[in-house]
């Protein structure tokens, strides 16, 4: 398990509901709504849900014999070895309802 800002990242065995996922044309896991900074992977394939909801996570896959670096200007870089990873975005409760945490 690793954390960078509002993102919790866990190594898993497979992409859950892969048939409902789309391969993204980028490697940005999250964009900082407050600062404009991005959590971006150096290599790998990002799987994003075709329709987003508060309960839908995204996944990324690091190719065999590779290491991907997750960078963000305000956080320490994280490295990920070959494998599949689930990305969970932290949420906060407020009186108006649940919302995503933002950098």
Look up residue 52 and give its two tokens. Answer: 């987003």
Q: Are 80 and 21 in contact (CB under 8 A)?
A: no
Radius of gyration from C-alpha coordinates of the chain: 13
- Domain locations in the chain as residue ranges: 2-66+73-88
Q: Mind listing the pLDDT tens digit for each residue in 50-79? A: 876 666 789 999 999 999 999 998 889 999
Nearest-angstrom CA–CA distance, 8 and 103: 13
Helix (H, G, I), strand (E, B) or coil at 99: strand
Q: What is the pTM of this model?
A: 0.82
Nearest to 39 by CA among 76, 64, 81: 76
């Amino acid at each position: 398990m690793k954390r960078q800002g509002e993102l919790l990242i866990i190594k898993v065995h497979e992409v859950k509901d892969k048939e409902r996922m789309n391969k993204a044309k980028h490697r940005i896991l999250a964009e900082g709504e407050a600062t404009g900074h991005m959590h971006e992977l150096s290599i790998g394939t990002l799987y994003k849900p075709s329709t987003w909801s508060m309960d839908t996570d995204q996944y990324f896959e690091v190719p065999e014999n590779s290491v991907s670096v997750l960078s963000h200007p305000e956080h320490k870089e994280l490295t990920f070895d070959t494998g599949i990873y689930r990305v969970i975005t932290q949420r906060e409760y407020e009186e108006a309802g649940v919302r995503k945490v933002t950098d």
